[in-house]
Amino acid sequence: MSEWWRGGVIYQVYPRSFSDSNNDGVGDLPGVTARMDYLRDLGVDGVWLSPFFTSPMHDFGYDISDYTGVDPIFGTMEDFDALVAKAHEFDLKLVIDQVYSHTSDQHPWFKESRKSHDNPKADWYVWSKGKDDGNPPNNWISLFGGQAWSWDTKRRQFYMHNFLTEQPDLNFHNAEVRAAILDVARFWLERGIDGFRLDVANFYYCDKLLRDNPAKKAGGAGEFLRPYWHQRHLHDRSQPENLAFIEELRALVDSFGEKDGRDRMTVAEIGSDDYIGRSVEYTEEGRLHTAYNFLLLENGPLTAHLIRDALERWTSDTAWPSWSFSNHDVPRARTRWGGEDAGDAFANLLMGVLMCLRGTIFLYQGDELGLPQADVPFEKLKDPEGIRFWPESLGRDGCRTPLPWHGGKANIGFSDVEPWLPMSPEHDRLAVDRQVQQPDSTLMLTRRFIAFRKASAALRLGSIRFVDTPEPILAFWREHEGERLLCLFNLGPNAATLPLPEGALSVQDYGLPGEVVDGEAHLPAWGGLVLSA
């Protein structure tokens, strides 16, 4: 099979904020279909579609009340089928989000489960009577703050939730639950999708004995921003049983490829203290095709050491990595790493670095435009996590604001009515229609870089070997079947020079500033060069 995903570029669409086809202020599936030519012209290999399933939207689609339904906000199942058809017409793959660790509390499964201790779905969720003194069964903490347990007055037991109280965790120790989830996967595979992005893929199982998590370290609790980070999460995620289910899911996905010859893929989102080790564990042979983690999404500042350390720690010869600098859960990389005053040159540099890394690349919508993090005032926040931890939140609303399509128009061309999140005024000059007219814009540079990556086996499939250079210079070789590329990037605000190895080196022209003079690479601030040897 083609393994289209290996070394490819997959673009993340957050449907609420991508394109609004019916002017209700919320993006939708017909909007994505209508913009498929934009994604084709960008040159990506596939699209990852964030949740569009039926949901009360407490967590904006990650609280699902019907795994096989399309929420009316986004359209209909016919709209989804049309989107799949259009993607395939344009030779684009479609990967959809799957949220298996928890459902909405409005899901029929949970509504039945909470009725009694002995109904057919009584054991489909993680329930406990708690301690004799009325406290929850253990010390587990929700990522969104507070205890990971809520009391249900009807059933008179606690149920577990790693996230919002409205997101109860499924009990994967129950074989019926596992079978039901595999049926969900089968439904979408039969609908023609090309793969799954698995939300919090290592969270499906928890410890059957519900043992306490140990403290991360003695004392010093004040240094952690939120309570969840105070613990070592030994018992509420990454359980060994999880891997057996992952292998079951992979076998199901592969069975469809064996029937029709189409290459489908699975990518895990991994949340763990051991970013790389856990990602490798979940992508070894027979498990998932690839995984991305939060090492480059949560950590900083941006240094050559940060990038080099992340990639060199991935030592497996069989597991395949994925990398992203931004997504819908973290502040945009331009602002997170560059600060509020980061300019377009910094955004361009980030794109150059990302497109030269070894692995599959996930490109979050708007990063191809170099969008900075939007400033959403408190009164307009929608994200429950952002509201709870304001002002020191992860900034999920600020990275989810709608895409600017037409500069100078109302709501920058996203919608004629006020969008669900406010448009950022500073995004107007970065609108799509403005950037397509500017050869040196971030959008046009992104198109060139993706085309360059597609044409280079060394960038898509090759090995990576880092060169010892002083900060802030990042240098590495990419090599595959005789093609050798030397990638050089200046991650700092001052010009730098670097002696080049002997031999004929030709500059690949893709748009970052930099030149070779008398055997030296001259890199201005935020500059870069890719040289073929």
Q: How confident is the model at residue 394 (pLDDT cuts 50, 70, 90)?
A: low
Provide the pLDDT for residue 515: 95
Question: Residue 42 and residue 95: Cα distance in Å, rounded?
Answer: 17
Locate 310 and state its tokens: 């992340």
Instruction: For residue 461, give both structure tokens.
Output: 């499939």
Domains of the chain: 9-101+173-203+238-452 (3.20.20.80), 461-532 (2.60.40.1180)
pLDDT band at 450 (very low <50, low <70, confident <90, very high): very high
pLDDT band at 516 (very low <50, low <70, confident <90, very high): very high
Give pLDDT tens digits for 487-513: 999 999 999 999 998 876 888 888 899
pLDDT one-digit tens code per residue, 345-374: 999 999 999 999 999 999 999 999 999 999
Give residue-wise pLDDT tens across range 172-201: 999 999 999 999 999 999 999 999 999 999
**Mean model confidence pLDDT for the chain:** 95
Least confident piece of the model among 125-134, 209-218, 383-392, 452-461: 383-392
Kindly report the pTM of this predicted structure. 0.96
pLDDT in tens, 426-447: 999 999 999 999 999 999 999 9
Neighbours of 313 (CB within 10 A): 15
pLDDT on residue 250? 98
Distance CA 363, CA 350 (A): 11
Answer for the pair 400, 328: CB distance below 8 angstroms, yes or no: yes
Using one digit for the tens of pLDDT, what is the confidence trace for 301-328?
999 999 999 999 999 989 999 999 999 9
DSSP strands (E only) in 142-296: 149-152, 157-160, 195-198, 265-270, 290-293
* Cα–Cα distances in angstroms (integers) from residue 343 to residues 47, 208, 337, in the given order: 27, 50, 12
424 band by pLDDT with thresholds 50, 70 and 90: very high
> For the residues of 163-188, what is the DSSP string, one character each?
S-TTSPBB-TTSHHHHHHHHHHHHHH
User: Which pLDDT value is given to residue 223?
Assistant: 58
Which backbone phi and psi does 232 adopt, to 5 degrees? -90, 120
Give the pLDDT confidence score for residue 221 in this predicted structure: 45
The percent of residues in the chain predicted with pLDDT above 70, rounded, is 98
Instruction: Tell me what the mean pLDDT of segment 8-31 comes to.
Output: 98
Q: Hey, what are 217's tokens? A: 């370290």
Distance CA 30, CA 33 (A): 5
**pLDDT at position 224, please?**
67
Pull the structure tokens for residue 158. 């606690």
With beta carbons less than 8 A apart as the criterion, state whether 373 and 337 touch: no
**The pLDDT value given to residue 1:** 62
Asked whether the beta carbons of 119 and 113 are under 8 A apart, the reply is yes
Active-site residue list? 199, 269
Q: What does each C-alpha distance from 18 to 22, 25, 336, 358, 404 come to in angstroms?
A: 13, 11, 22, 28, 9
- The rounded distance, in Å, linking the Cα atoms of 120 and 112 is 8
